Amino acid sequence: MTDFTSVQDKTVIVTGAADGLGEAIAKCYAENGMKVVVSDINAEKGQQTVDQIRSQGGEASFFRADVSSEQDIIDMIEFTVSTYGRLDGLVNNAGIAAPNRPLHEYSAEEFDRVTAVDLKGVFLGMKHGVQAILKSKSPGGFIVNIASLAGILGNSSMGLYTSSKHGVVGLTKSAALDYAPYNVTVNAICPGTFRTAIWGQAPEAVIQDFAKIISPNAKLGDPREIGHLALFLASDLARYISGAAIPIDAGASAGKLTPTKWEHPEILE
């Protein structure tokens, strides 16, 4: 089998799906016949994502949830099961950033805030989500955690975000072992830098200059690429992949890019 028909009619929750990478994942899932619960704290934009999915013939519903609240997570999962009768998969995408500064200049309150969303939120989603997946007796249960390139590499001036995303990768690996005997895969996607709403109205020249610094191919990623990887991990094509932290970063995590003068640059002509 080399297509994605295996995901059809699976029910999945995508958190933080009002925009950005979560929106791209939710739309990709729906385009391939999955029933998607779009969750976010932004009800207006979250409903817009649902409306766009429905306008394309997909099936989706919205549920407002703050992933740092255990009760919100419980209610989100109960809504999904009561609406669609089951849960097959969960994408823990919701997250927040922190200001760039050296570690000693962060406050304890900032630590608590970032960790509550970026790490505790993933833990709560996995804790309650996997129980619903197991109770649904899904033949292809899956959890996809959206970590970051910062989950596998260190970053100066990003101690809170980096530590939380490293924690997400750790949770992913441990949970993959916990649930492998029950045919539930658990993987993490570690994105580099992508074109999302975070760029706002930044001039294209500024974006391109930054891309040249941050990315080996001098480009920012297309969020749909994250959606395609998440779709693969949700499908029967990836049932033997679990516990992986998969970078999608144009090679940024492969090592240092050293400028080199080619002896035969004419092959590029």
- Which positions are catalytic? 161
Q: Are strands 184-191 and 89-92 parallel, antiparallel or unpaired?
A: unpaired
- Taking the C-alpha atoms of residue 59 and residue 267, their distance in angstroms, rounded to an integer, is 49
Count the neighbouring beta carbons within 10 Å of the beta carbon of residue 26.
34
Residue 8's SS3 state is coil
Question: For the chain, what percentages of helix, strand and coil (3-state, to nearest 5) are there?
Answer: 50, 15, 35
Distances in Å between the Cα of 184 and the Cα atoms of 15, 60, 125, 168, 190 are 19, 23, 14, 17, 20
- Taking the C-alpha atoms of residue 4 and residue 236, their distance in angstroms, rounded to an integer, is 8
Residue type, 34: M
Residue type, 101: R
Residue 136's SS3 state is coil
Count the neighbouring beta carbons within 10 Å of the beta carbon of residue 59.
16
